[in-house]
Chain A
Amino acid sequence: MKPILEVNGLTKQLGNFQLKDVSFSLTEGCITGFIGVNGAGKTTTIKLLLGLIQKDAGEIHFFGENVQSKEREFKSRLGIVLDEGYFYEGLTLLEMKNIVAAAYSHWDNSLFNRNIERFGLSLNQKIETLSKGMRMKYAIALAISHHADLLIMDEPASGLDPQVRMELRDILLEYVADGKSVFLSSHITSDLDKVADTIILIDNGQIVFSEEKDILLDQHGLVKGDTKELNDQTRNLFLTLQETEYGFSGLTKDKASVRQQMNNTLIERPSIEDIMLSYIGR
């Protein structure tokens, strides 16, 4: 699969926080989950990608072209869903759409109207009257109605109920089925367990790993067993380890060695959250 967006050495100092040498790439037809705890640098990275913050160093290429030299073309091929919406609340959905749509040369109004109908929204409604879930759906309708190649979403699932989150997952899966890509930041990893193809973990302004989700889940194991199994040698096999009086549980990246050296243990498939917490808790 071809890379559509390549980020190299992205650096930014913002007060006491520093985004350090962030590099990753997004591939065509994939949902990439961008995970990390609050304040890890997810929103800063997305704002740098979108040019909302000026970078100190680094390069961003979209389909091989430097985005700085072709900013308008790059942005016309992006769909954006920002965490707080950034809508003018006093306007109606139609008024806000008219402002946004005018920026895109490939705006498809019939597609937008179909999305609005599908999401059960009314164009004459004021944005301030929308619930959090409806607002997110409206943001998606705006973001996918100009045939964007890449949908960038910053914490779209934050504060949404499970039903709306399920609808969001369906929308994303439909979107990538057309060969398009999604870059989705979230600190709620359970949704990414179900839809993401690739996971990028950021912590304290640095990329910890960027890996295909299935490989990541296959590589790691959640090990449970009796504390008698633990010694100086076996402890080194774990990224993190929690011990109680009843036993231990820990995440390993070396399942083969665990199987070899610890006979009476249970190895389970971890969740993305288990892996994330293990890496940032080291």
Chain B
Amino acid sequence: MHLHLVKKDFLLAKKYWIVLLIAAVVLPVFIQTKLTAGGEFPAFFLSTLYVVFLLFNTVSMMEDKYRGAALLCATPYTRTALVAAKYLFIFSVFFGCFILYTLAVLLSPVTISMIDMYDFGRALLLFTVIFGVLIPVQYRFGYEKSRYIFFFLVFLTPFVLPGIMKALQHDNAGTMSPLPFSSPLLGLLFVLLAFVIGGISLSITIRIYSTRNL
């Protein structure tokens, strides 16, 4: 049942598939060529964030325009299933971007570095924190109102992005040193933490959506 709802989100954004597929491969290569050594994490994270946000925004716009969720909620699809499918959609695009990045590393004529477990873990954690806030905010305030909130955040990006880029590109060892874990184990802990945050966000969104008038 969830699978069909995830498929529905992909269908709603079908016009943008090709562009975003290309972006998911080309963007990380381009970003990495502009950065110094250790640029694989910001390259992967920022390109994935861009692709997922555009897809998420496109689907939300379609949902707001056609209000198809009202029809689906009148069928045996539950509101919980609709919300869970939204999270599944977002995370499946994230994993899709990871696969495309890996393919780009293997096939690109430009030398770019592979993402290790640590980078994958912190990318997933950051990604979960961002969408773990974005999704409930959108369900709470609706597409139109939340657009203004996100617009304000995007407006802030040029001011804070250089700082974030520097921090993300910072030597991995420096960020790991206070913790007594190996790099892959720390990555795994980040993945687990991402699942916990994702789960909390999911339950908040389900609660918000269960009382919403459609």
Interface residues of A (CB under 8 A from B): 14, 47, 50-54, 71-72, 75-76, 78, 80, 82, 84-91, 95, 98-100, 102-105
Contacts and interface: CB of A to CB of B under 8 A. Distances in A.
Contacts of B74: 50-52, 75, 78, 80, 82
A77 to B, nearest CB: 9
The majority secondary structure among interface residues of chain A is loop
Given A88-B62, A99-B4, A104 B75 contact: yes
A54 B210 CA distance: 9
A99 B77 CA distance: 10
Nearest to A100: B75
13 contacts: A52-B73, A52-B213, A52-B214, A54-B211, A72-B76, A75-B76, A78-B74, A82-B70, A84-B67, A85-B71, A87-B66, A90-B12, A90-B15
Given A80-B71, A82-B71, A103 B66 contact: no
The majority secondary structure among interface residues of chain B is helix
A87 to B, nearest CB: 6
A90 B58 CA distance: 12
Interface string B52-70: 0000000000100111101
Given A47-B214, A72-B78, A103-B75, A98 B70 contact: no
A90 B7 CA distance: 14
Nearest to A71: B78
Contacts of A82: 70-71, 74
Interface string B1-31: 1001101100110110000000000000000
B72 interface: yes
A75 B71 CA distance: 11
Contacts of B14: 90
Nearest to B12: A88
> Nearest 9 pairs between A and B by C-beta?
A86-B71, A102-B4, A103-B75, A52-B214, A50-B74, A76-B76, A75-B76, A103-B76, A80-B74
Given A95-B11, A100-B75, A103-B77, A52 B70 contact: yes
Contact of B5 (A89, A90, A99, A104): A99
Contacts of A78: 74
B118 to A, nearest CB: 39
Contacts of A98: 4, 7
A79 to B, nearest CB: 10
Contacts of A103: 1, 4, 72, 75-77
